[in-house]
């Protein structure tokens, strides 16, 4: 069975208090804000029912409204009991998260009116500068960046910087406020609410996305893990051990002995310490990804070879005696035979050879008390073991169906991962009969993912989408064995898998005791897919949402924005915001740095260098009436790193939306208003992609799908339109949160009610803003 489908791990450390009032309240508030809440160290029972509004509180409410927030009644009452300093701290946190103190001035002033610049302007400017510019007698203006702009080309009065090289000369210290037509209500989070979030993150039955992982790390800095919490995923265990080990080496040793039960667990932990990735990505892939990230269209700028060599040197292993003894102790204590351990080490044999040498495990194996370690290394180097995969492949090659199914039944996780291919090879009936016998040993998330994937896999007319852990998105051709079956037979296979997983989910919920009688399910939950299998590497600081969530367009304009460079010195750091407009008959047009206007779209200009510390911004304005008139079907939102390397850490990208008109400054071009932000994501430090698709606008439905599809390439031209379509199709086909709750309702005999105040179980849209709470529905 794969690592992530192992049984839950129980943390049995001494019980410690969740919260110490000397801890950082701002850290806790940062986590709470991701769930559209404000943390206050109060008890709900002590909140006054009647309050006197103070001047600081009324000013605070106004500041929140300007940023697009309102307050729930219980939060308003709770805030009446806190100090003015606390109100100021919360205001500063929201301002920081929304980026209101950064530079939001683009390259062009009043960019909703095109400047009329063309490629010929760039060509003429290049030639004039090549031949000496002003010194050669040309008329024009020399800019602070050193470039000479000849007369008759760019209208310089329209720019905040150099239109030729994209260097900004002017920044803005203001943003617009209060233009948003819809306020997001903030709720009260107490210590008990944060405790619940912490527990759900620890026990999550699905791998944590970047937002959840970052929230867990923040909470681990403030909280201790209680003894009655079961850690749900191996990746989560790595974070807990590493952060606990930073505080105490003894704790690190103890937790490793308790949780790291296989050689792969130990390898995963040391590789996480080295690279920061909770998934084991082999060195050759990391080197190749670094090579791809530093390729450049212009040969003199290409640094792929040098950066790949730097990454190779960076990945070289070197450990002190503390780590060597740690690894030796953990391996020596493994509760398995040497043959079993060596077999598990075999798939990553190359990495293990490097680690054995770097950790001096051969030296420790000769010491007294490390007998089991010596046995493991002896078997590993002599290859005195048979691999399970080798025996399975032999049986497959010899077409021994009974042997293959019996072996797969020994490892349910592997059976689930190759179920569809096995059905094609040996037939639907006997394969599903064998699978159903072991299905109760699988985590519900894996069963759910099978039902979601069946329709796409058994469709021989379309490619499938693959998103490996190394990043990027690829299309996979249909399995060649599909051609052996008729369309009706493939449809039967799809229905059989879907019926099997629906039956399993009903049995799962029926086995859970529940004394409740009624349930309320928000209708909006039927539009939100369950996020099983969707990897997310971006952080959502203002609100959490599951991939595939649909956001309605309220007005006639959607404004994309991108801000990058916060806290960095002035330098050449060229990030590009783009969109692709798709029409019928597979015709597309781009709005990007190389094409600033398109039907229904306007770009604010290409900035290639960032000012000092405050960053810079780019925008694209989409006009819904113009897109309708032009016959647009979809608009895809993307951002790319044009300069060498991946997308800049802490780059923020998203879109604004309001029923009311949104202003664009004629003096600076600033077009950002935090009250209009509908969704925004931040690129995390562990990002491995050079490009990112972050949304798709369905023009006719007036809805925006939030999705995350990384890709490699300097511009939007490198994105795969077919892959984007497949991802959108897959998200639409996935089981929704509402449908999963319907299965729960049927299995537990609950009655649906329309009034949440009359329901024993209430599932609102706000509840779904916590992905960990949604994923808790899949707990075994």
DSSP states of 199-227: HHHHH-SS---HHHHHHHHHHHHH-PPPT
SS (H, E, C) 633-665: EEEEEEEEECCCCCCCCCCEEEEEECCCCCCCC
Look at strands 575-583 and 571-572 and give their pairing.
unpaired
The Cα–Cα gap between 263 and 342 comes to: 8
Distance from the Cα of residue 494 to its chain's centroid: 29
- Cβ atoms within 10 Å, residue 481: 13
SS3 282: coil
User: Is residue 538 exposed (0-12), middle (13-18) or buried (19+ Cβ within 10 Å)?
Assistant: buried
pLDDT tens string 403-449: 999 999 999 989 999 999 999 999 999 999 999 999 888 888 888 88
So what's the pLDDT on residue 533? 58
- Choose from 20-24, 701-705, 736-740 the range with maximum mean pLDDT: 701-705
So what's the pLDDT on residue 549? 86
Q: Residue 106 region, left (φ>0) first, then alpha (ψ -120 to 50), else beta?
A: beta
pLDDT tens string 695-727: 999 999 999 999 888 887 788 887 777 777 777
Q: 761 - beta bridge partners?
A: 519
DSSP 108: B
The Cα–Cα gap between 728 and 456 comes to: 12
So what's the pLDDT on residue 319? 93
How much of the chain, in percent, has pLDDT values that exceed 90?
A: 62
pLDDT tens string 517-551: 999 999 989 888 887 656 678 899 988 888 888 89
Helices 263-275, 338-345: axis angle to 10 degrees equals 40
- Pair 410, 403: CB distance under 8 Å: no
The Cα–Cα gap between 489 and 424 comes to: 10
- Pair 223, 18: CB distance under 8 Å: yes
Higher-scoring residue by pLDDT: 313, 17: 313
pLDDT above 60 (res 729): yes
pLDDT above 80 (res 473): no
- Cβ atoms within 10 Å, residue 585: 6
SS3 730: helix
pLDDT tens string 107-164: 999 999 999 999 999 999 999 999 988 888 899 999 999 999 999 999 999 999 999 9
Structure tokens at 763: 């599932």
So what's the pLDDT on residue 715? 83
So what's the pLDDT on residue 712? 79
The Cα–Cα gap between 304 and 294 comes to: 5
Q: Residue 79 region, left (φ>0) first, then alpha (ψ -120 to 50), else beta?
A: alpha
Higher-scoring residue by pLDDT: 717, 167: 167
pLDDT above 60 (res 9): no
So what's the pLDDT on residue 469? 67
Question: What's the CA dihedral at 44, 49, 50, 53 to 10 degrees?
Answer: 30
The model's confidence at residue 49, banded by pLDDT at 50, 70 and 90, is confident
pLDDT above 90 (res 325): yes
The Cα–Cα gap between 450 and 419 comes to: 9
pLDDT tens string 276-310: 888 888 999 899 888 888 888 888 888 889 999 99
Tokens 């999705």, located at residue: 707
The Cα–Cα gap between 410 and 189 comes to: 45
So what's the pLDDT on residue 532? 67
What average pLDDT does this structure show over 193-222?
Answer: 90
- Cβ atoms within 10 Å, residue 3: 18
Average pLDDT, the chain: 88
pLDDT tens string 568-610: 999 999 999 999 999 988 789 999 999 999 999 999 999 999 9
Higher-scoring residue by pLDDT: 535, 450: 450
* φ and ψ at residue 704, rounded to 5 degrees: -115, 125
pLDDT above 70 (res 233): yes
């Amino acid at each position: 069975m794969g690592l992530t489908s192992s049984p839950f791990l129980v943390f049995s450390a001494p019980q410690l208090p969740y919260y110490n009032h000397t801890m950082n309240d701002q850290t806790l508030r940062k986590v709470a804000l991701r769930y559209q809440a404000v943390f206050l160290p109060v008890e709900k029972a002590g909140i006054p029912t009647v309050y006197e509004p103070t001047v600081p509180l009324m000013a605070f409410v106004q500041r929140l409204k300007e940023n697009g927030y309102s307050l729930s009644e219980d939060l308003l009452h709770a805030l009446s009991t806190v100090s003015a300093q606390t109100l100021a701290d919360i205001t500063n946190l929201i301002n920081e998260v929304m980026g209101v103190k950064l530079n939001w001035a683009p390259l062009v002033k009043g960019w909703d009116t095109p400047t009329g610049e063309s490629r010929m302007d760039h060509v003429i400017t290049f030639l004039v500068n090549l031949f000496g510019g002003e010194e050669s007698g040309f008329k024009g203006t020399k800019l602070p960046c050193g470039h000479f702009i000849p007369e008759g080309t760019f209208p310089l009065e329209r720019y905040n910087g150099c239109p030729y090289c994209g260097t900004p000369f002017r920044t803005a210290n203001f943003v617009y406020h209060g233009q948003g037509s819809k306020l997001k209500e903030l709720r009260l989070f107490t210590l008990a609410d944060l405790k619940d979030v912490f527990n759900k993150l620890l026990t999550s039955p699905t791998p944590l996305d970047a937002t959840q992982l970052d929230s867990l790390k923040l909470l681990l800095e403030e909280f201790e893990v209680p003894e009655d919490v079961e850690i749900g995923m191996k990746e989560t265990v790595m974070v807990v051990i590493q952060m606990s080990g930073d505080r105490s080496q003894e704790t690190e040793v103890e937790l490793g002995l308790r949780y790291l039960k296989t050689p792969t667990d130990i390898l995963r932990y040391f590789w996480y310490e080295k690279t920061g990735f909770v998934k084991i990505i082999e060195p050759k892939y990391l080197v190749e990804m670094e090579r791809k990230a530093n390729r450049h269209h212009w040969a003199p700028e290409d640094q792929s070879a040098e950066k790949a060599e730097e990454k190779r040197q960076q990945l070289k292993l070197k450990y002190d005696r503390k780590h060597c003894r740690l690894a030796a102790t953990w391996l020596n204590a493994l509760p398995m035979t040497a043959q079993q351990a060596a077999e598990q080490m075999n798939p990553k044999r190359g990495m293990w050879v490097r680690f054995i040498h770097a950790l001096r495990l051969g030296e420790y194996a000769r010491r007294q008390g490390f007998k089991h370690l010596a046995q493991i290394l002896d078997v590993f180097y002599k290859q005195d073991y048979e691999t399970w995969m080798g025996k399975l492949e032999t049986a497959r090659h010899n077409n021994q169906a009974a042997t293959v199914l019996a072996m797969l039944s020994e490892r349910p996780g592997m059976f689930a991962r190759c179920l569809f291919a096995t059905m094609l090879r040996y037939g639907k009936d006997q394969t599903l009969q064998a699978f159903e016998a072991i299905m109760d040993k699988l985590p519900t998330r894996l069963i759910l993912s099978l039902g979601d994937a069946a329709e796409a896999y058994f469709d021989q007319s379309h490619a499938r989408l693959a998103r490996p852990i190394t990043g990027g998105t690829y299309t996979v051709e249909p399995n060649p064995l599909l051609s052996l079956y008729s369309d009706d037979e493939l449809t039967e296979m799809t229905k059989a898998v879907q019926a099997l997983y629906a039956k399993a989910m009903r049995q799962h919920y029926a086995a859970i005791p529940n004394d409740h009688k009624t349930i309320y399910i928000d209708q909006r939950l039927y539009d939100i897919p369950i996020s099983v299998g969707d990897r997310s590497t971006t952080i959502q600081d203002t609100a959490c949402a599951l991939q595939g969530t649909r956001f309605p367009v309220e007005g006639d304009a959607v404004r994309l924005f991108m801000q990058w460079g916060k806290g960095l010195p002035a330098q050449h750091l060229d990030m590009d915001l783009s969109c692709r407009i798709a029409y019928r008959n597979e015709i597309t047009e781009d709005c990007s740095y190389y094409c600033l206007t398109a039907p229904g779209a306007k770009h604010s200009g290409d900035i290639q260098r960032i000012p000092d510390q405050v960053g810079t911004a780019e925008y694209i304005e989409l006009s819904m009436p113009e897109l309708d008139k032009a016959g647009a079907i979809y608009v895809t939102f993307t951002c790319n790193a044009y300069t060498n390397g991946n997308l800049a850490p802490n780059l923020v990208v998203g879109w604004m939306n309001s029923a009311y008109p949104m202003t664009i400054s004629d003096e600076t071009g600033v077009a950002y208003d935090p009250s209009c932000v509908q969704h925004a994501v931040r690129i995390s430090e562990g990002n491995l992609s050079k490009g990112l698709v972050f949304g798709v606008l369905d023009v006719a439905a007036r809805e925006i799908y939030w999705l995350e599809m990384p890709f490699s390439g300097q511009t939007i031209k490198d994105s795969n339109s077919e892959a984007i379509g497949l991802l959108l199709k897959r998200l639409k086909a996935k089981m929704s949160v509402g449908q999963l709750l319907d299965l729960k309702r049927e299995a537990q005999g609950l009655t649906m009610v329309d009034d949440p105040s009359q329901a024993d179980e209430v599932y609102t849209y706000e509840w779904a803003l916590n992905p960990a709470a949604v994923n808790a529905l899949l707990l075994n």
